[in-house]
């Protein structure tokens, strides 16, 4: 991506003018939802900080709020960001940063409108927390790469048209090198998606088996063997997307528990009161820290600080959901439905306390385990000495497995 691109002067007033033009040409009340979203993308009002022609206007990222507020006030449809979070939060910034012009023009518009759902083929059964130890292989065959391996804990794989995929292309290199980054068509022969039932009874995640899947070299992102560097962009954006989402004061799970506390005085005890107060304060501190992180993001790419937000999100969710179950007593142990379901998104607030308690267990695993995030914070944020690593310069093929 060029760093010398001219940035036109687009301010809040100019964005409001462009929103009015969009609304006049495509009245939300009489325009098909998808047609409206496509028109919004083409008008550069999808993500205003993206380049012109790719859904943006090269405007400051902070001005996106102006567009969103104007369109919400007009009753315009949105692109359901919770359903397509992997595409928006992880695939898109990676494609923008490392993709070719052809890849950006083909992929970003249907990604943003939600016409094409994305998933992330990173985690493996033998390389979850140690992602760089991945064993999925990609072998060059003419203009294609032939991919064999297994991925796991893949959200939305059962809905996805595309996947971002990392695979080992040179086993003679140490594990952080010799990895390349690809875009995989989930409809291609050799891609098999199997549901992975969780403790909640749902099958929100999947196993994905890749057997002789042919990926054209034109669907590679970044240089051959430089996939780990590309993946860092995805991972840093992923942690911001998971841990730094915008929520109102008392939004999310702390709001549910606070409401129960206010409405059910018979459940109160002094000890629970003290714990609720502590978690309320920590939730508010995390919310405000998330706002600060988004301000930093508005002027550049996310840094390792996003790992702290994701870590805080996971810990708070687990502590708040545990408090809620304890507060409700036997009522908190009830569960609404164990039927195998394949949801399109996680619904923390739309179900019972027992569901929230069980689902929150996964928060310390998905998007980077808490142990890995603690290492990142220690080494890359606090500058503490790294842990001893005996496998750093050893070829991947020689590592014990």
Give 24's contacts (C-beta < 8 A, 6+ positions apart). none
Distances (CA, A) of 129 to 119, 126, 364: 18, 9, 11
- State the alpha helices, DSSP H only, in 218-269: 227-243, 253-263
CA distance 37 to 29: 13
Q: Which residue has the tokens 């750093």?
A: 392
Give 61's contacts (C-beta < 8 A, 6+ positions apart). 48, 49, 297, 298, 299
Question: Which sequence positions are flagged as catalytic?
Answer: 238
CA distance 71 to 74: 5
Q: Are 182 and 147 in contact (CB under 8 A)?
A: yes
Q: Which residue has the tokens 């009340």?
A: 29
CA distance 175 to 392: 7
3-state secondary structure 122-145: CCECCECCCHHHCCCEEEEECCEE
Nearest alpha carbon to residue 94 among 4, 158, 163, 146:
163
């Amino acid at each position: 991506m060029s760093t010398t691109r001219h940035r036109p002067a687009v301010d809040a007033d100019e964005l409001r003018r462009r929103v009015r033009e969009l609304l006049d040409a495509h009245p939300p009340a009489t325009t098909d939802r998808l047609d409206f979203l496509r028109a919004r993308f083409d008008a550069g009002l999808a993500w205003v900080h993206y380049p012109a022609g790719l859904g943006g206007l090269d405007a400051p990222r902070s001005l996106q709020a102006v567009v969103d507020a104007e369109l919400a006030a007009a009753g315009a449809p949105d692109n359901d960001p919770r359903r397509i979070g992997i595409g928006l939060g992880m695939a898109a910034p990676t494609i923008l940063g490392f993709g070719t012009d052809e890849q950006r023009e083909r992929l970003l518009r249907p990604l943003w409108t939600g016409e094409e759902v994305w998933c992330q083929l990173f985690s493996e059964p033998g390389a979850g927390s140690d992602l760089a130890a991945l064993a999925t292989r990609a072998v060059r065959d003419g203009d294609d790469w032939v991919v064999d391996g297994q991925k796991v804990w893949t959200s939305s794989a059962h809905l996805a048209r595309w996947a971002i995929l990392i695979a080992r292309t040179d086993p003679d290199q140490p594990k952080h090198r010799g990895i390349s980054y690809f875009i995989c068509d989930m409809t291609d022969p050799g891609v098999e998606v199997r549901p992975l039932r969780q403790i909640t009874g749902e099958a929100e995640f999947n196993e994905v088996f890749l057997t002789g899947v042919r990926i054209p070299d034109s669907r590679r992102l970044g240089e051959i063997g430089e996939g780990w560097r590309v993946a860092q962009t995805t991972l840093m954006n992923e942690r911001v997307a998971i841990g730094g989402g915008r929520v109102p004061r008392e939004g999310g799970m702390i709001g549910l528990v606070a409401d129960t506390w206010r409405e059910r005085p018979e459940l109160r005890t002094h000890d629970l009161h003290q714990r609720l107060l502590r978690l309320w304060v920590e939730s508010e501190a995390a919310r405000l820290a998330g706002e600060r992180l988004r301000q930093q993001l508005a002027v550049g790419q996310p840094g390792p600080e996003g790992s702290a937000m994701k870590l805080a999100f996971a810990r708070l969710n687990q502590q708040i959901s545990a408090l809620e179950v304890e507060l409700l007593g036997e009522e908190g142990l009830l569960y609404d439905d164990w039927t195998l379901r394949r949801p399109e998104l996680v619904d923390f607030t739309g179900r019972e306390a027992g569901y929230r308690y069980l689902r929150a267990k996964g928060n310390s695993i998905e998007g980077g385990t808490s142990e890995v995030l603690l290492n990142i914070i220690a080494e890359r944020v606090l500058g503490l000495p790294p842990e001893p690593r005996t496998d750093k310069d050893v070829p991947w093929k020689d590592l014990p497995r």
